[in-house]
A and B are shown apart, each in its own frame.
Chain A
Amino acid sequence: MNLLKLWNFHGGLHLDGHKRESSVAPLAIARIPERLIFPLQQRNGEDSQPIVAPGDRVLKGQVIARDDNPFTPPIHASSSGIVRTIEDLPLPHPSGLSGLCIVIDTDGDDVAMEFTGVADYRQCSPDELRRGIYEAGIVGLGGAAFPTSIKVAPGDHRKVDTLILNGAECEPYITCDDSLLSHYPADVLNGAKILLHILQAERCLLAVEDDMPEALAALERAKEREGFETIQLVRVPAIYPTGGEKQLISILTGREVPMRGIPADIGVVCQNVGTAAAVYNAVIRGIPLISRIVTVTGRGVKQPQNVLARIGTPLADLIHQCGGYTNEAERLVLGGPMMGFGVPTDDLPLTKSANCLLVAGRNELIGEKQSLPCIRCGACAEACPVSLLPQQLYWYSRSEQIERALDYNLFDCIECGCCDYVCPSHIPLVQHFRAAKGKAVAKRREREKADHARLRFELRQSRKEQEKRERAESARRKKETLVTGKAPEILEAIERAKLRRAEKTAPPSGNSEPIDDDKEKAISPATDAESRDISVDAGHAEKQSGDQISKAQPIPSEID
């Protein structure tokens, strides 16, 4: 079936898969947990705004938080219940920081909103479908949780010809995509057709690794039943990290994503298979992204298996569902053994991006080994799938020469951990690179903030200068006013008033005369006084003004 020519990428590792532990057990459907937790922050960015309050009753599928930002899709309740609180709780994040979360006490009835899908997606424009994908809260389920609606909008200037569905689950232990493809192959293939329609692309390549025979068989059966001519199944070798986006693209197409570019630049869009199934559910069935398949595995859990669980389920509930911890349980890792991160507690919610919960037993993972000095063997450079020079990066990262590290393309590192794995000195290279990346970002941010502050300071200085000039100007004018008696504008106004008065009094008319006379008398004192003022020489004093003016008189008279 591999009619497609396969390419390869530099480096990579053959790792012990540990897939059978979780993939032999059938897919379990998780129970409704007693409470659901929804962090308001989905990716690193701003919190979404909660649109429910404590005490509100919510239904399954109801939007509970949203934001105007196209990069933060709405969050939906994954079961019905009452909102208990919106409070700071620890987040499933390597930092261990807390953030605002909506906590829902479920009622167990699982009452759903009315879901309405579209009968024929071909009748919808790509923009409508993208909107639907956004509203369904769909993000990439492969691990990065990038909003799908953005990813399938490559822009008019990029022509996408190939959609790649990533079912190459290269990281050891993880089998959630395998399980999804085995159980719901039609959902994935139908989702792929919708994505093809949105992207207006010609073909779809669905990549699975050659150690996933059940998934491949299920996909082939589904293809036989329903056609899907535009979708081609491709078996790729199980080399870590084949499932990396850029690596998979180069294996399947031989094209390389340019530095700082995106796959759409070379006409490719890559999506996780889980995302495709979520798109199908959202568009055809109208169901938002409220559940996902997650692998619970490792020697620390009694029944390793894949679980279809609601987003927001506490990790402790998932462990419980899988028979609980064994005596061996030692470390809790979210994600796989290569790229996952340790979490200190199981009192954390399942998020959209969590594909695996690994409960590691004793000595199951490479622990923190004593690292030794680098011997410059170069094994890391051979293993690096991005063709970087990890040892150079390591020197520069360690000696704080971040600029040099950037010159060696630090930001192209995908943090796959291959270099760590092969390093004979057990140097935690990826940790060094992550720290260096963090420093570079922090430095850039500080620089931006400083530039902004400088700009504001300069604007303030120039404003103060201007105010000073204006004050000096007005002082000068005041002085001038004192000198001439009146400001030129006032003099002009008086002149105009005088003219008007002259016009009025000049033509004496019949009937209205007596009334006019009265009016005249009423206003005359003031105007008379003014006209007298004007009539006198500029140097002479006004009657109303006080001593100051009279003191100022000598100056103009001298000028005169």
Chain B
Amino acid sequence: MLAVFVVCALFALFGLILGYSARRFRVEGDPLVDKIDAVLPQTQCGQCGFPGCRPYAEAIARGDADINQCPPGGEEGVIALADLLGVEPKPLSAEHGIEKPKSAAIIDESKCIGCTLCIQACPVDAILGAPKLMHTVIESECTGCELCVAPCPVDCIRMEPIKETLATWRWPEPKALGQ
């Protein structure tokens, strides 16, 4: 009888502790979405079929999207997502695009008519300009999402691969081990 009583008392005690800590240490939002979002390259290009990286992260967390729909993240990104979610990595899905070298948009300023369409399209406010005035891309802010290319009525925006400088250069891998 005493044993039953003690066990019940312990249950009640633990229940209280758990109940309290569930309220006290409650985690706001969905931590999984944040973790997935942290792995995504934040290009905000929408190639995955979702309007931005965060919505894609939410879709992955819900199970509505696959992990191989992010071309800017590339194979490396797929592997990182697979590691995070504990699933098998798979090749990049071709229908969402191919992995390209990191690029930035450049506006041919002599052709720009100042229509502001690209400014409205840019997801990270990397284009500077005003109606009927020349626009330009702030290169350091450009994520290379290409969303500004299509809306341009005079086709004056092109994507240029980012040039290697001394600051971005890194030592190459040594040649493969000889067998």
Q: Do B166 and A97 touch (CB < 8 A)? A: yes
B108 CB–A CB distance under 8 Å: no
Q: Which residues of A contact B52 (CB under 8 A)?
A: 457, 461
- A454-B42 contact in complex given A95-B166, A438-B170, C-beta closer than 8 Å: yes
Q: A453: nearest residue on chain B (CB-CB)? A: B42
The smallest C-beta distance from B104 to any residue of chain A, in angstroms, reads: 11
Would A439 and B170 be within 8 Å (CB), given that A450-B42, A454-B53 are in contact? yes
Interface of chain A: mostly helix, strand, loop or mixed: helix
Q: Are A453 and B166 in contact (CB under 8 A)?
A: no
By a CB distance below 8 angstroms, the chain B residues around A435 are 170-174
User: Which residues of chain B are within 8 angstroms of A93 by Cβ–Cβ distance?
Assistant: 166, 169
Complex interface bits, A23-45 against B, C-beta within 8 A gives 1, otherwise 0: 00000000000000000010011
Q: Which residues of A sit under 8 angstroms from B136, Cβ to Cβ? A: none
- The distance in angstroms between the C-alpha atoms of A46 and B166, with both chains bound, is 9
Q: Can you give 14 contacting A-B residue pairs, CB < 8 Å?
A: A44-B167, A93-B166, A93-B169, A94-B171, A95-B166, A372-B177, A427-B177, A442-B168, A449-B42, A452-B141, A453-B42, A457-B123, A457-B124, A461-B52
B166 and A41 within 8 A (CB): yes
Minimum C-beta distance from B145 to chain A (A):
9
> Is B68 part of the contact surface with A, judged by Cβ < 8 Å?
no
Most buried by A among B164, B167, B173, B175: B173
Chain A nearest CB from B142 CB (Å) reads 9
Given A371-B178, A434-B171, 18 more A-B residue pairs with CB atoms under 8 Å apart are A93-B169, A94-B171, A95-B166, A97-B164, A99-B166, A368-B175, A372-B178, A373-B177, A432-B174, A435-B170, A442-B170, A450-B41, A452-B141, A454-B53, A456-B124, A456-B125, A457-B52, A460-B125
How far, in Å, is B103 (CB) from chain A's closest CB? Answer: 13
Query: Number of A-B pairs whose CB atoms are under 8 Å?
Result: 83
Report the bound CA distance from A506 to B177 in whole Å.
Answer: 104
Q: Could you tell me how many residues of chain A have their Cβ less than 8 Å away from some Cβ of chain B?
A: 39
B165 at the interface (CB under 8 A from A): yes
Measured between alpha carbons, how far is A442 from B174 in the docked complex, in Å?
17
Minimum distance in angstroms from B81 CB to a CB of chain A: 14
- Note all chain B residues with C-beta closer than 8 A to A452: 141
Contact A451 B42 (CB under 8 A): yes
**Nearest-CB residue, chain B, relative to A440:** B170
A217 interface contact, C-beta 8 A: no
Shortest Cβ distance from residue A387 to the other chain B in the assembled complex, whole angstroms: 23
Chain A residues, Cβ within 8 Å of B167 = 44-46
Cα A93 to Cα B170 in complex, Å, equals 11
Restricting to B154-170, which residues have a CB under 8 Å from any CB of A? Answer: 164-170
Give A352 Cβ to nearest chain B Cβ, in Å. Answer: 15
Report Cα–Cα, A446/B40, bound state, in Å. 11
* Residues of the B chain whose Cβ atoms lie less than 8 Å from the Cβ of A378: none
| Given A450-B42, A454-B53, residue A95 in contact with residue B169 (CB < 8 A) | yes
Report Cα–Cα, A449/B42, bound state, in Å.
9
Quick one: which of B25-50 are within 8 Å of A by CB?
37, 40-44
Please report the C-alpha to C-alpha distance between residue A93 and residue B40 in the assembled complex, in whole angstroms.
Answer: 33
Closest residue of chain B to A373 (Cβ to Cβ) is: B177
- A396 smallest CB distance to B (angstroms): 14
B15 to chain A, nearest CB (A): 39
B116-144 to A contact mask, C-beta < 8 Å, 1/0: 00000001111000000000000001010
| B124 to A, closest residue via Cβ | A456
The distance in angstroms between the C-alpha atoms of A91 and B164, with both chains bound, is 14
